[in-house]
Amino acid sequence: MLSALEQYDPQIFELLTQEKARQSGSIRMIASENYVSKAVMQATGSCLTNKYAEGYPGKRYYEGQQVTDLIETIAIDRAKKVFGADHANVQSYSGSVANVAAYSTLINPGDMIMGLSLVNGGHLTHGWKASFTSKVYNSVQYSVDPQTGLFDYGQIEEFAKKHRPKIIISGATAYPRQIDFEIFGEIAKRVGAYHVSDIAHISGLVVAGIHKSPVPYADIVSTTTHKTLRGPRGGMLLCKAEHAAAMDRAVFPGLQGGPHMHTVTAIAVALAEADTPEFVQYARQIVANAKRLGEKLMEHGFNLVSGGTDNHLLLIDLRNKGVAGKKFAKALDRARIVTNYNTVPGDTAPPFNPSGVRLGTPAVTTRGMKEPEMEMIAGFFKRVIEHIDDESVIEQVARESLLLCSRFPVPDHFIIPRDGSHGAGRD
């Protein structure tokens, strides 16, 4: 029997088949990527795709919301529980939309925001010059110490005192160390600013208690719902009770119309999975894998920004190797190892051909790989960099990568609550 997609659109079906094979047969190390469970995938592709639900539970603008109200309420309650937040909004279409909603909740257009610069590991929506956020708001950018790759909190405070922003943004997309959200909160208070924390990359580690939570120290916390949290592609906001009504208005009707209820449904499933002992074990293994991978890479002569990692990602500075990040990332891709080229602190190379490569361990950890496999992967990196212009070596590494992937097939499901219930894993 042909599937509906295969019968109606064989071209797209074939491309999806190829992509599934690529994800299965590659060592996927992009720090923002992962594999969702079969349950999350099923919710994402459910009949909720058909439903409009403008508004919020109990206050919709369309009829027929008997089920959607229940689903969104469940998602909100689960988010509040696992993050320990007063209020949650699960409607944002993405992390970028969530960030803009957070700013518009607290300040006005033209006010100043202060975030980590893109070249130092921040996000476009933290006020970078190419982003809409730098056009709506005045923005200034702090950086990491170019020598250590770490935040200098004293310097950040002096920068904040100089510019007096209305919002200080903590969080990053390429910072491999623990972030002290409490200090960021204190700095914000001392300069009369709000504190917005973007934990898109580390939210799964925060839920599991592996990384310090910003919820007690930030006015608003934004996150994506995929990456380490291992849910669908979406966004979420958490805040203190005093900002709840304004934040909800900022999302709808401020920035978007009807929520994507199939995504909200999948977020609810992912949050149930996150509220289990198995998820905590997975999060711990993410960090253990990243640490071991970093140790072996350094043994092989790679320079790591900050000298290692505390979370799920590593940032390699290739300037000592004399190889551009883009060239190395593309060679790794041919070897069935998927990363992304990335700027590093103090980088003078152009952003489209920077000096670094960023990699992460969430996806390989979901597949069940542990420290021995990280050592093997570090060896692959060494061979590729040493023979970057020798396609025969890269082809051999590709074969070994495929063999490693065959030992760790992509799981259909990986969270089975012990008593058969959801959200009962952690007190």
* Active site (catalytic) residues: 52, 54, 198, 224, 227, 233
**In sequence order, what E strands does 54-132 have?**
55-56, 59-60, 87-89, 112-116
Contact 192, 179 (CB under 8 A): no
Tokens of 239: 């805040």
Strands laid side by side in the 303-304 sheet: 303-304, 313-317, 356-360, 340-342
Distance CA 96, CA 211 (A): 22
Tokens of 131: 């982003």
Distance CA 48, CA 65 (A): 11
DSSP 3-state of 262: helix
Q: How far is CA 299 from the centre of its chain?
A: 28
Residue type, 160: A
Nearest to 417 by CA among 39, 45, 48, 71: 39
Matching residue, tokens 């944002």: 92
The angle formed by the CA atoms of residues 283, 288 and 290, to the nearest 5 degrees, is 95
Nearest to 26 by CA among 363, 424, 260, 318: 363
Tokens of 11: 């071209």
Alpha helices in 84-212 (DSSP H): 95-106, 132-136, 153-163, 181-190, 203-207
DSSP state letter for 93: S
- Convert 286-310 to b/e letters by CB count within 10 Å (16 or more is b): bbbbbbbbbbbbbeeebbbbbebbb
Contact 197, 222 (CB under 8 A): yes
First-to-last alpha carbon distance for the chain, in angstroms, is 46
